[in-house]
Structure 1
């Protein structure tokens, strides 16, 4: 199955509660809602991408567990961006002080916040141009640092606030810079065929 985008306008505009209900009643699928209110249906990833995503999440978790500077999230977490879209990056992280500013109720649902850092791992179902647009959307909504990783071509696109995109070809590691101090992602598992 490939990613599907359903344009529900003008017949139906899903509010947050309706969107949550759809997600809860279809737990075998991953959903996002874009700024226009379109429902994006994404199939589960293949096993290989799932393993690579686990490596990414595990490395971020280990770093965060040591330094305790923020809160990390896996690919099943949705965030309501300032533009109204609900997005679910593959790996994400929010600075602790920003997370603590949210109420308990806001944290329980799709937190109304854009992550400070995130990773999108390109899978077979993803279109590169659509994922690049999503990375730009994150930047427009407050993202500080983002990595678009294409394991097939072994390329990483680095997205930074108010800076041009940087492209790395087959790096062994990548630094979290000043957003994630002392975090260095080992790409051995990600770029292994």
Structure 2
């Protein structure tokens, strides 16, 4: 009989192998380095989000090194490729040293060639369960973005489309073509 180890947030500190990890209900997922296209898309998204957020001073934008602790026991820790959190939901500045103990308002996952569809789906479900309002799943090979909302529905946007972030990030419209520029 084989038993599967269930990891916790505390176990992450003891891992000696360098790299990025996500933790979904006790399952540890190592995130292999992504390619250049993945990185460029991530930088484009962060730049576009940051420009709007900074101008209007409505929150903070995070990159792939930020961990969001979405649930405890079993633990869920995800590090989206980009994320946005409104000012009124941010912990005090002293509480942002470690993992952020909340769900981002917007989470972006860029699909890599090594990603399993089931793993991406699991992340989307965890974000939505924790209260994320918009989850963007970027498909570089298809040059499209699926936007998931709390009602568990997705809408797919193509390069000619614009994504309106509505009440989540008022006034922000993302041209899909800019993401892949």
TM-score, scaled to structure 1 = 0.82
Q: Is 1:59–2:59 an aligned residue pair? A: no
> How many residues are paired up?
177
Per-residue CA shift, 1:40-75, capped at 9, x if unaligned?
Answer: 111111011111111111111111110111111001
- Counterparts of 1:104-115 in structure 2, within 5 Å, are 104=94, 106-115=95-104
The match for 1:149 is 138
- 1:164 CA drift (Å): 2.2
The separation in 1 between residues aligned to 2:64 and 2:99, in whole angstroms, is 13
5+ long unaligned stretches in structure 1: 1-6
- 1:26 CA drift (Å): 4.0
- 1:156 CA drift (Å): 1.8
Q: Which of these residues, 151, 158, 169, is aligned with residue 169 of structure 1?
A: 158
The separation in 2 between residues aligned to 1:187 and 1:155, in whole angstroms, is 7
- 1:103 CA drift (Å): 7.0
| Change beyond 3 A, Cα 1:155–1:181 | same
Q: Is 1:18–2:11 an aligned residue pair? A: yes
TM-score, scaled to structure 2 = 0.87
Let me know the Cα RMSD of the aligned residues: 2.1
